[in-house]
Amino acid sequence: MEIGGVIARNRKKGIFIVILVTGLFLTVIAVNGIKYEFEEESFLPKNEVVEANERVIKEYTNEYLVPILVKSKDGNILRRDNLLEILDMEKRLYENFSVMPFSVADIISSAFLYIQNETNMSYENKIEVMQQISDKNITQILNFPFFPKESFSLLLSKDFDGKKAEATVIKFGLNGTLIKDKKAALENESKVEKTVQQNYTHIETDVLGARLISEKIMKANSKSISLLLPISFILVIMVLFFIYRNIKEVILSLLALGITILWMTGFGALLGYTFNPMITSIPVLLVGLGIDYGIHIKKRINEEGIRKGLNSISTALFLSAFTTSIAFLSNISSSISTLKEFGILASFGIFSCLFIMLFFMATPARKEKGKDKIILNKLAMIAKEKKKTILITTLLATIAMSYFATTIEAEFDMMDFLPEKLEITSEINYLLKNFEAAEGEEAIIMIKGNVANPEMLKKLHSIEENIKDDAYVVKAEDSILSILSLMKDYAEKTFYDMRYNESFALLYKNYFENGLPKENVTEGNIIQLYNLLYEIAPYDVKRVLHRNEEYDECIIRIATDTGKKENNISVLYSELKKDLNDNQGIITGGIISSYIILRELRSSQIKSLLITILLSFLILEIVFLKVKKSISIGILSLIPVILSAIWIIGTMAILGIPLTITTITVASLAVGLGIDYSIHMSHRFMQENDLVKSVTSTGSALLGSALTTIAAFGLLSFSFLPPLRIFGVAIAIAIFYSFILCVFILPVLLEIWKSSPFFK
């Protein structure tokens, strides 16, 4: 079928269809709306460990914790005036939410009230007693032998020396149902923020709620995209003027690109996708990727006319669009939903852009000036004369990059998405850097079954004993928290004990000895214990025991110290698996979940890369076998593309760019984008059968394509979000490598193939 003839005859009909579809997508956007959210869940892979960790977060707590960071303006948060302002703020929070916050100010004021034998712990009494004491009195009580300094210090910054500390964290626990209601959580956090925002004389406050953080990330991302997209268009306009030197063609290209972005957005709205920072980067990518088709179409039409030009370029265009889409769609193999949606929308954008460009850019031919061709001609001549030198250099570079590629690190931290210039980012970094509790690690073992069964509790005890000697488990009495340790804590009285309960202790001693159920203890006896403990300490029990109609699940919380190093976490994970000793359980927790996600990122990269390479190879072979009756051209066309993937991974390792949720796609995109250049160059070489002519003619179009793509991706390096910034830099480098390898190395390989019967 003559593509050129069909488009030339039906150009107006095609443009009408484009306008009609655009209207439909505008309707979809108007009806469905565009949802913008930043949810950690959308970046998480679907597997047992990660899902178990999400369940622990949502089901093993009674409260939705909203941390409030408080810093002293005078350098010591433990001075009376600072503590009075904290109590005043807490009083207003209590009046607005009917929930009492927990802070160092509460502990200190309560201690002074106890000394005065006052049992009414109202905020009025706490503020009154604090007004009566001095800074010296506070220092004295902090150093009192029975004061709980260890637990008290967890609420203070690391510089706490027994007398002073720069900052503190107030723990404000709202209703646990907010964990499952994001909208209500954001409303409550915003209300908390409004309540604590006052012009204090001695303190500064920051609310660090999860929903507020997500909201601020999305606002920063929207602002970033709204700035980058216009700049992207301006850069593309400049490049297009350099290439086309015709205002009408520049306007048509930009119009086609704008419609492409609208189609992609409408398609996302139709599928009900939520637009997060990664997906909202697609329009910027399409600016660079999509304009490539317009350049190739117009270049070939100017050389050969509309019909002949479109007929000669159509195979390469559809082949490149198909293989580029494969690179994006390879992310469907990932268990991370955001990567899947990213791949689907980007692929739809690629095909949409090709369809739109074919009709918009099929304008009459005109003569071109060829200053860029003179430079490419000279470079092509050098490549032809120095074939051996070029191939040896390429081989040595590939060996070096292959080595570096094996050393690349993987990282997963949603805090990386925090824009560096946001005030909340510096406060979160301050919290993580200056508070011991913020650095805490915890592994969790989730065990399903009848937890009231005495035999189950014996197995649980055995698992806990096995855990104690593991390499990266904290060696302390309270490093393991479970239903067994919790019952023991409430049943045994120590010198300073806030948990001991006499009624529970009497019942516990009837049924337990040395931490284990006595002989002949029944399931009913254990349930009796659990029920009583639920009455006494519902919050503590819910942290380790799950109750539906019966006690059907429990967790063991394990304090760990791996330094968050991947190798150490791997050892911990393996040892905990052995500790289970054939018992049914899931090892999870924040530290283990992060490790599994890192493993999934590597697996996802390998899978998407292999899928891209294999499918691209099959498609190339099918096409080139049909056109040229040659297996070799398909293989040769894939070599520079694979090299570009190796080179970019090696370069990322050298530059210290890790594999993250965004950069994981770089290698497969390098293959998908590079294959576009490779196809055009191989296709042209088969027509010209000459290295210099191929590089001079097609190299000119590829140069324009590479410049626009690098400009668009490079713009992401100015994004407010660090992961998108790194992603933009990595992709821009990958495009540069693809251009060099496909325009100069591939023709050298094809030239050798042409003159050697071995390759035929």
Residue range 630-663, pLDDT digits in tens: 778 888 888 998 899 899 999 999 998 887 767 7
Residue 455 sits at the vertex; the CA angle it makes with 505 and 490, to the nearest 5 degrees, is 20
For 77, the domain range is 61-207
Spatial CA neighbour of 481 closest among 544, 551, 438, 436: 544
| Mean local confidence (pLDDT), 436-451 | 80
| Position 44 in a domain | no
pLDDT of residue 414: 59
Domain final residue pick, 524, 559, 583: 583
Residues 17-31: pLDDT tens digits?
999 999 999 999 999
Residue 80: pLDDT band by 50, 70, 90 thresholds?
very high
**245 contact partners, CB below 8 Å, separation of at least 6:** 368, 369
d(CA 347, CA 521): 63
One domain, residues 322 and 411: yes
In a domain? residue 434:
no
For residue 324, give the nearest of 343, 297, 298, 300 by alpha carbon: 343
Say whether both 248 and 299 belong to one domain. yes
66 lies in the same domain as 29: no
Residue 752 lies in a domain: yes
Residue 517 near residue 22 (C-beta atoms within 8 A)? no
Distances (CA, A) of 608 to 595, 603, 611, 621: 20, 9, 5, 20
Cα–Cα distance measured from residue 204 to residue 77, given in angstroms and rounded to the nearest whole number: 10
Query: Does residue 539 sit in the same domain as residue 630?
Result: no
Residue 711 lies in a domain: yes
Mean pLDDT over the full length of the chain: 82
Whether 224 and 346 share a structural domain: yes
Q: Which pLDDT value is given to residue 591?
A: 84
The whole-angstrom separation of Cα 154 and Cα 65 is 16
Question: Are 285 and 323 in contact, with CB atoms under 8 Å apart?
Answer: no
Q: Between the ranges 414-418, 541-545, 546-550, 745-749, where is the mean pLDDT highest?
A: 541-545
Angle between helical axes of 691-715 and 282-304 (0-180°, round to 10): 150
- Whether residues 378 and 249 fall in one domain: yes
Report residue 45: phi and psi, to 5°. Answer: -70, 155
Domain termination residue (choose one: 170, 185, 207):
207
Q: Clarify whether residues 221 and 167 are in a common domain.
A: no
Q: How does pLDDT run across 482-535, given as a tens digit for each residue?
A: 999 999 989 887 644 567 788 899 999 999 998 899 988 999 999 999 999 999
CA 316, 319, 322, 328 dihedral sign is: negative
Average pLDDT over residues 128-156: 80
pTM: 0.71
Confidence check: pLDDT of 295 > 70: yes
My answer on whether 545 and 613 are in the same domain is no
pLDDT in tens, 621-638: 887 777 767 778 888 888
pLDDT at 724 over 80: no
SS3 call for 588: strand
State what percent of residues in the chain have pLDDT above 90.
21
Give the residue from 186, 207, 228 where a domain finishes: 207
Question: Is the same domain home to 291 and 405?
Answer: yes
Which of the pair, 148 or 236, is modelled with greater confidence? Answer: 236
Task: Specify the DSSP element, H or E, that contains 199.
Answer: none
Same domain, yes or no: 202 and 235: no
Asked whether residue 427 is domain-assigned, the answer is no
Q: What is the mean predicted confidence (pLDDT) over 725-735?
A: 87
pLDDT for res 522: 93
Is residue 187 domain-resident?
Answer: yes
Phi, psi of 163, deg, nearest 5: -125, -35
Higher pLDDT, 3 or 394: 394
pLDDT score recorded for residue 496: 46
> Is 589 inside any structural domain?
no
Do residues 200 and 87 share a domain? yes
Average pLDDT, stretch 296-325?
Answer: 81
164-216 residue pLDDT tens = 889 999 888 888 778 778 888 889 989 998 988 888 889 999 888 888 888 87
What is the separation, in whole angstroms, between the first and last Cα of the chain?
Answer: 29
Separation in Å, CA 684 to CA 537, 632, 679, 688, 705 = 76, 16, 8, 6, 16
Residue 694: CB partners within 8 Å, gap ≥ 6?
Answer: 380, 681, 684, 685, 688, 747, 750
**Lowest mean pLDDT, pick from 96-100, 222-226, 479-483, 588-592:** 222-226
pLDDT at 610 over 50: yes
Domain count along the chain? 3
Task: Supply the pLDDT for residue 343.
Answer: 87
Is residue 55 in a domain?
no
On whether both 83 and 198 belong to a single domain, the answer is yes
What amino acid is encoded at 661 in this protein? I
Predicted confidence at residue 84, as pLDDT, reads 92
